[in-house]
Amino acid sequence: MTGAAPYDSDQPHGDSASSYDPNYVPDSVKSFVVHMYRHIREKNVYEIHQMYETSFQSISDRFFKDAPWPSVDAVATYVDNDHVFCLLYREMWFRHLYARLSPTLKQRIDSWDNYCNLFQVVLHGVVNMQLPNQWLWDMVDEFVYQFQSFCQYRAKMKNKTEQEIALLRQYDQAWNVYGVLNYLQALVEKSSIIQILEQEKEGLEQFTATDGYDYSGGSNVLKVLGYFSMVGLLRVHCLLGDYHTGLKCILPIDISQQGVYTSVIGSHITTIYHYGFANLMLRRYTEAIREFNKILIYIFKTKQYHQKSPQYEQILKKNEQMYALLAVTLSLCPQLKLVEETVNSQLREKYGEKMLRMQRYDDEAFALYDELFSYACPKFITPSASSYEEPLVNYNQDAYRLQLKLFLYEVKQQQLLSGIRTFLNVYSTISIAKLASYMEVDEDTLRTILMTYKHKMHSVDSDGKIISNMDTNFYIDDDMVHVVESKAPKKYGDYFMRQIVKLEGITSDIDRVKLE
Amino acid sequence: MGREMTNQKPQSEMSYTVQQLVSVNPYNPDILPDLENYVNEQVSSQTYSSNANLCLLRLYQFEPERMSTQIVARILIKALMAMPAPDFSLCLFLIPERVMRTEWVLVLWKGWGMTIGMQMEDQFKTLIVLSHYLETARFRQFWDEAAKSRHILEVVPGFEQAIQAYAIHVLSIAYQKVPRSVLAEAINIEGLVLDKFIEHHITNSGWAIEKNQNKGQLIIFPHNEFNDPELKKSAADGIPLENITRILPILG
């Protein structure tokens, strides 16, 4: 790469460090870039996807296990020095670096520059390519990931050298939170993706039906980047602790349906993970449970197909994290009937015991809430730069500690509710006086607890409507508590529908057999 | 319920521009002064915009040196008034701890004197305590503490009414019939004023009264899906239209 300062070169940290020559281009790389370049020019999306997913991985495994790929300058000659291809190549180059090695500060800054250049080209609307959704998703995902990584890195002030601090001061625009948010916002706006999705509902546009691809000779890049940027914004806002705005950013996407976000498993999981987490923090427990349940079923059914893919480990990790979040949510709001059997049995296996202990709300319970939350939560960031003047301390944990503290504070406020639940599950009617004596509190306190229960188990949705998350329902008539039957009304409608579809499936199968 | 019962006045021209800024160009450090002015306008005109206030808190998060504790305190009070919406928690999620703590140190260092510094921090602590009481329906303790903190709260007109609206909301989702004493404690009104209050709601909100066995007064709330199980059940077994469309080709 050009412009490497003497104290901070592109030398990787790894075994092949001494032997890394940025200008050495093995034949397989030469062939890779030549073919990739041709496929991109000819818009052969399928071939691009194959090369991007498979070839890149296998070449990396063979030659670049812990070294970067050849520099872009070295390969540029094989691709007519094409400006856009070089930007794309560099994007993959940096992603590989982040995955296998640790980037230096200079490399982080250079990667930021590359993203700026790449996004600017796309925003100017001069791009004429069709790229696979997987790649476009990876771009946005990696962009947010590198931002998160940079904030974590910047906040570890303690062992920073003077040169690093000087460089941070000089390049204060790199990975600046305003820059990151504005690029994502610009992609959403310039692509008009929100209007496209609106018009699609009325049949005036085709987007989801073609998985975002453009079959009329145009390019899918800006539109799909704009689409995935909405998920990117959801993620960034969650990292900042702004759950409300994060959910607003994702509003144009209907997550009750399939969509372009489900066309790439990484995007599907990231969307639902953050959506569920944001709902948990907003006390919209039933919504969180529903979505976690759906995605966990989906992962259970489909993960075998992704075993060979580079995303497999991430998929498994997010799967485990969402089980932890589900365990936490169900301990606060035991709506077990919303959880499907497969998920439920996995949940009991992983967290059955811990969930029982969490519902006791003693000291051990809080330790468990802490443990699961800390394991499963996003890597929160502090978006502001430090002043570099105060004594150099690490503040990379501050954001996480704040969110954890506020979460545990919420759990503490719900401490007395599980006691109420136990009694309400046993009685259909009970007087305030009796219930108070069983719970060993005075009547006034009991009334307070009952009202807290009602308040905590109702959330306010984005339109200001009150939504009930109540598992065990009740109402109070003067000094009598009336418990409402908590058995769910049998969903005859749903059952009949499923049987109809099933029968139709069997009938058409039989029809097919007859023809042979 | 909730939000609808609080501050509801036609938006001014300024608020229209600010709302536009927030939706079109929210990640822009230059709009910070506009957002601060807008907070003050919300206070004086008894309106509320959680989006604009969250936007401002975000900008403060990005540039902590520009944070104004006075504005943050006002935002927090307005958020309390928006209950049962979780706005207060949403705000706390965005206020870095070290800013709230170091404010005190900075104020001392700038030579303003200790009392002002301590007031700043106490303000936030008080508001968090008040929020805690409201979240756990401890209305008596809330009104006691609010009385002690009048100097902090009186800067925002409409505070009392907003909290009373919240209290009534919680009562009406928990009770079909509530004893008068419980209502009185929750909204901090007694005697003749309470009588008038109840009469007003009988006329306008569908309340009713009856006597219980001990000759005390019972206030009856209109039935809603939260305090009446019958009303809830009827909504439960519906099937969304999209699901039916799946099987229409089969039936046809």
Residue A490, pLDDT > 60, answer: no
Among B200, B192, B142, B86, smallest CA distance to A283 is for: B86
Contact list, B28 vs chain A (CB under 8 Å): 178, 182
Confidence (pLDDT) at A12: 46
Query: Residue B54 is nearest to which of A245, A410, A494, comparing CB atoms?
Result: A245
- pLDDT, tens digit, 9 for 90 and up, residues A301-331: 999 998 888 889 999 999 999 999 999 999 9
CA distances to A279, A433, A435, A453, A472 from A426, in Å:
30, 16, 11, 17, 11
Compute the distance between CA of residue A313 and CA of residue A62 in angstroms, rounded to an integer: 20
C-alpha to C-alpha distance for B175 and B171, rounded to whole angstroms: 6
State whether A497 and B229 contact (CB < 8 Å).
no
CA distance readout (Å), A386 to A67, A161, B134: 32, 15, 36
Tokens of B38: 């807008």
Tell me which chain B residue has its CA closest to the CA of residue A498: B247
* Alpha-carbon dihedral angle through residues A325, A332, B131, B170, given to the nearest 10 degrees: 130
Residue A89, pLDDT > 70, answer yes
Contact with chain A for residue B56, Cβ under 8 A: no
pLDDT at B239: 60
State the pLDDT at residue B98: 66
Closest CA to B92 of A457, A282, A233, A326: A282
The tally of CA atoms less than 13 A away on the side-chain side of residue B159 is 24
Q: Do B93 and A395 touch (CB under 8 A)?
A: no
> A42 near A48, Cβ under 8 Å?
no
Supply the pLDDT for residue B3. Answer: 41
Distance CA A317, CA A306 (A): 13
**What contacts A217, CB < 8 A, 6 or more positions away?**
none
Name every chain B residue with its beta carbon within 8 A of the beta carbon of A450: 174
Cβ contacts of A395 on chain B, cutoff 8 Å? 98
B/e letters for A444-478, b = 16+ CB within 10 Å, e = fewer, are eebbbbbbbbbbbbbbbeeeeebbebbbbbbbbbb
Is the Cβ–Cβ distance between A446 and A432 less than 8 Å? yes
> B244 in contact with A at a CB cutoff of 8 Å?
yes
| SS3 of residue A117 by DSSP | helix
* A178 with B176: Cβ contact below 8 A: no
* Statement: residue B8 has pLDDT above 80: no
| Segment among A196-210, A232-246, A484-498, B182-196 with least mean pLDDT | A484-498
- Helix-helix angle A56-63:A27-41, to 10 degrees: 160
| Nearest residue, CB atoms, B54 vs list A242, A382, A413 | A242
Cα torsion A285, A289, A292, A294: sign: negative
Which residues neighbour A52 within 8 Å (Cβ) at sequence distance 6 or greater? Answer: A36, A92, A132, A134, A135
Residue A295 confidence (pLDDT) above 50: yes
Residue of A384, A455, A504 lying closest to B61 (CB–CB): A384
Secondary structure tally for chain B: helices H, strands E: 14, 3
Helix, strand and coil percent figures for chain A, each rounded to 5: 65, 5, 30
User: Residue holding tokens 């006075």?
Assistant: B70
Q: Which of A185, A448, A478 shows the shortest C-beta gap to B136? A: A448
Higher-confidence position of B92 and A462: B92
- Record the tokens describing residue B122, joined without a space: 């106490």
Cβ–Cβ contacts within 10 Å for residue A414, how many? 19
Tell me how close the Cα of B35 comes to any Cα of chain A, in angstroms.
16
For position A491, what pLDDT does the model report?
Answer: 61
Contact yes or no for B152/B127 (Cβ under 8 A): yes
A244, B132: Cβ pair inside 8 Å?
A: no
With vertex at residue A463, the alpha carbon angle to CA A282 and CA B244, rounded to the nearest 5 degrees, is: 100
> Is pLDDT of A93 > 80?
yes
User: Which DSSP symbol is given to A54?
Assistant: I
Please tell me the distance in Å from B97's CA to the nearest CA on chain A: 7
Looking at residue A336, its pLDDT comes to 87
Of A456, A488, A481, A486, nearest in space to A469 by CA: A456
Q: To which residue do tokens 């109540």 refer?
A: A470
d(CA A214, CA A192): 15
Residue contact A455–B178, C-beta within 8 A:
no
Q: What is the DSSP string of B13-72?
A: HHHHHHHHHHHH--S-GGGHHHHHHHHHHHHHHT---HHHHHHHHHHHHH-GGG--HHHH
Question: Is the separation of the CB atoms in A357 and A364 below 8 Å?
Answer: yes
Question: Given CB atoms, is B173 within the 8 Å cutoff of chain A?
Answer: yes
Q: Position of tokens 């929160």?
A: A380
Average pLDDT over residues A161-181: 93
Residues A229, A137 contacting (CB under 8 angstroms): no
pLDDT of B243? 64
What's the rounded Cα separation, in Å, for the pair B30 and A161?
Answer: 33
Pairing label, strands A480-483, A429-431? antiparallel
Q: Closest approach of chain B CAs to the CA of A374, in angstroms?
A: 16
How do B175-179 and A474-477 pair as beta strands? parallel
Given pLDDT bands bounded at 50, 70 and 90, which one contains residue A16? very low
Rounded mean pLDDT, A240-262: 94
pLDDT for the residue numbered B241: 67
Q: Which amino acid belongs to residue A139?
A: M
Q: Backbone phi, then psi, for A8, in 5-degree steps?
A: -145, 80
Collapsing DSSP to helix, strand or coil, A128 comes out as: coil
| Interface mutation vs chain B, best among A239, A377, A401, A402, most B CBs within 10 Å | A402
Q: Name the residue in chain A with its Cα closest to that of B62.
A: A384
Distance CA B222, CA B205 (A): 8
Residues in contact with A286: Cβ distance below 8 Å, sequence separation at least 6, in sequence order: A333, A335, A338, A467, A469
> Which residues have CB under 8 Å from A320's CB, separation 6+?
A350
Strands B217-220 and B175-179, sheet pairing: antiparallel
Distances (CA, A) of B57 to A24, A121, B52: 50, 32, 9
Q: Test B62 with A178 for CB contact under 8 angstroms.
A: yes
Tokens of A223: 């539109």
pLDDT at A489: 53
Q: Is 60 exceeded by the pLDDT of residue B224?
A: yes
Q: What is the ipTM of this complex?
A: 0.87
Query: Does residue B109 carry a pLDDT above 50?
Result: no
Kindly indicate the confidence band of residue A9, based on its pLDDT and cuts at 50, 70 and 90: very low
Handedness of CA B210, B212, B215, B217 (dihedral sign): negative
* Mean pLDDT in residue range A13-19: 50
B238 pLDDT above the threshold of 70: no
Share of chain A above pLDDT 70, in %: 94
Strand ordering across the sheet containing A429-431: A429-431, A480-483, A474-477, B175-179, B217-220, B208-211
**Residue A264 in tokens:** 């790439």
Whole-angstrom distance, CA of residue A327 vs CA of residue A359 = 11
- Cα dihedral across residues A192, A194, A200, A206: positive or negative: positive
pLDDT at res. B180 = 93
Residue of A304, A300, A296, A301 lying closest to A325 (CA atoms): A296
**What pTM value is reported for the model?**
0.88
| Helix (H) or strand (E) run with residue A270 in it | helix A265-281
pLDDT of residue A159: 85
Which chain A residue has its CA at the smallest distance from B217's CA?
A: A478
**Given a cut of 60, is residue A486 above it in pLDDT?**
no
Lowest mean pLDDT among A177-181, A348-352, A382-386, B60-64: A382-386
Question: In the predicted model, what is the mean pLDDT of chain A?
Answer: 90
Dihedral angle computed from the Cα positions of residues B104, B108, B109 and B111, in that order, rounded to the nearest 10 degrees: 140
- Which tens digits make up the pLDDT trace of B140-196? 999 999 999 999 999 999 999 999 999 999 999 999 999 999 999 999 999 999 999
User: Residue B108 is which amino acid?
Assistant: L
Statement: residue A57 has pLDDT above 60: yes
